[in-house]
Chains A and B, each alone.
Chain A
């Protein structure tokens, strides 16, 4: 049995313009000690799906799923109180914005000790000792002296380390990292990722790493979920995904990697992710897809072999496409 099992997860928001489906039929599972990566452009529902899992969405959100279990516990039916026993302890989450995610009114030490006190208990002395240990573990120099520091007295990278320390304090079995490095300097990004992977190995926890950077995926993940406009367009092992992407969107994402650029300039995907008001009728990616046919514009595709496409790519060739062999993807493959 998987540690985390999600089937057909959807999230709808009540908005001024009616219901908006931010997450639409997402399926994946994570095994113990495994790294799964969720990739996709901004607005593709990566954060929302994970917040749904944590139960942290505002009341305007309606979460539905066929299955959403953690270690056999049905997260859909448990009470809020029971969920609070799990989140922060067995499942924790690190957020995108380190500078605003820590409370400015409390010291770093307090915020770390608070979560341990809540779930594990212990005397002030023990908690303090463990907090120093954790701060050292995430690579903060002179951890003792940092206990009394406030978040605004430290840099973004340091704050993100504090956040990590706080979220691994109770030795979670699943850690969700939502673009943990997006707000940080490039030099710090690599350090934080390394730290996460190292901690994941050391503590044998599962890691869901949300990112929009395919490079990060290549370096860290074992399995990948690609999301587009709330839908899961592809799910694969990382190696297969890089060598044989099945969805034109995945292919386009890979082509946008700097090291894959064949020309002098970086190819980018034209257009933007559709929002609430400009949803296409058929396949959501069709307005930006180089292979889109009338069928694509008119009818939503179904998932075959983990790929949500009418003409899934096989070795860079869209299978069953009316254009046939001529429509081989630009820029080659593999």
Chain B
């Protein structure tokens, strides 16, 4: 097991270097001179321009810029935002919990529906349920997030239609909740005296969760179905039935336990999808997370924010994938207990 983890860690380092290279190049191929952008309409004198270029290190040779950049990252310094003058890392971290909260809700939603649906479809393969689930999940999988979000908003939030759910933010403006953990559900439930704030937080989460969770739900349902179909044909499932065990135990324990080995990996791989989806979802719902922050940063050409955000997101995806690999090892005895 330890060797398994070390080998996975070994793969992480080159990947991370690749990511930093991309992030480093990304900022330098974007059109527009960063200093001019920073100066805005007022313009800047040639002397001041040179001075600022030197200050940010844009005058040095590329390879030297990269070395400095890499060194800074390793020290946890992702630079400063041009606009707010705050350290990028701080800006990222204050918004990160909002995204995590949304992403967690989305993946929980996707799993709670996708997993059982996939299991039932596999057990009743060829049935009407199976066919409709496969159709719906194909639709869900190919649903453009932006369009889907607007559709749901029109249907559920528009006062002319149902008017059930709010359209923007994490919380009604009536409440003020001091961020303790940054997770609104936890803060409102345990650290706030405000009556009704928790309900409002949930209320605000519903639509973004559905919108962000739709694609992972479709993927999880399909993958669970195919993993279960494969496992249900295995000899050990027949053995479990030959033991006279109840159907629930045969399917829910003997078959599912083996199918989960693949499904956990699939769920883990959805983290990248979730973070990409969060960018759009947060923009639609004005959700104050890193997705919206990065979109704003791109429009403002806040280079260091974009660059830092990219590296952080990539790093998080890599760490999550590592955790998934670890989980995979944990639930698969053939890796955990080698001879």
Binding site for B on A (CB under 8 A): 54, 56, 83-89, 92-93, 95, 97, 100-106, 114-115, 118-119, 150, 152-153, 163, 166-167
Contacts and interface: CB of A to CB of B under 8 A. Distances in A.
Given A86-B244, A89-B244, A118-B244, A103 B238 contact: no
B243 A115 contact: yes
Nearest to B246: A84
B258 to A, nearest CB: 6
Contact of A105 (B241, B242, B258): B258
B235 A95 contact: yes
Interface centre among A84, A89, A97, A105, by most chain B C-beta atoms within 10 angstroms, is: A105
Contact of B236 (A86, A101, A150): A101
Contacts of A101: 235-236, 238-239
Interface of B: 234-236, 238-246, 254, 257-258, 261, 331-334, 337, 339
A86 B332 CA distance: 32
A56 B236 CA distance: 12
Interface centre among A89, A101, A103, A152, by most chain B C-beta atoms within 10 angstroms, is: A103
B279 to A, nearest CB: 38
A56 B242 contact: yes
A293 B334 CA distance: 57
A73 to B, nearest CB: 14
Contacts of A86: 244
B337 A153 contact: yes
Given A103-B254, A105-B258, A93 B236 contact: no
6 contacts: A97-B235, A100-B234, A100-B235, A105-B258, A118-B246, A167-B242
A84 B250 CA distance: 12
Given A88-B244, A88-B245, A103-B258, A95 B334 contact: no
B287 to A, nearest CB: 39
A150 B258 CA distance: 14
Nearest to A112: B243
B239 A95 contact: yes
Given A150-B334, A150-B337, A152-B333, A88 B258 contact: no
Contacts of A103: 236, 239-240, 254, 257-258
B334 A54 contact: no
B4 to A, nearest CB: 15
Contact of A152 (B242, B243, B245, B334): B334
B241 A104 contact: no
Contact of B244 (A87, A95, A100, A104): A87
A71 B48 CA distance: 100
A88 B243 contact: yes
Contacts of B339: 152-153
Contacts of A163: 239
A56 B241 contact: yes
A188 B38 CA distance: 80
Contacts of B246: 84, 118
A100 B237 CA distance: 10
A128 to B, nearest CB: 18
B229 to A, nearest CB: 12
A296 B331 CA distance: 59
Given A88-B244, A103-B239, 6 more contacts: A56-B238, A100-B234, A103-B240, A106-B254, A153-B337, A153-B339
B245 A95 contact: no
B242 A104 contact: no
Given A101-B236, A102-B236, A114 B333 contact: no
Contacts of A95: 235, 238-239, 242
A95 to B, nearest CB: 6
Contacts of B334: 104, 150, 152
B239 A87 contact: no
B1 to A, nearest CB: 14
Given A152-B333, A153-B339, A118 B243 contact: yes
Nearest to A89: B244
B244 A119 contact: yes
Contact of A87 (B242, B258, B337): B242
Nearest to A54: B242
A167 B238 CA distance: 13
Contacts of A100: 234-236
Contacts of B332: 105
B244 A84 contact: yes
B243 A114 contact: yes
A173 to B, nearest CB: 14
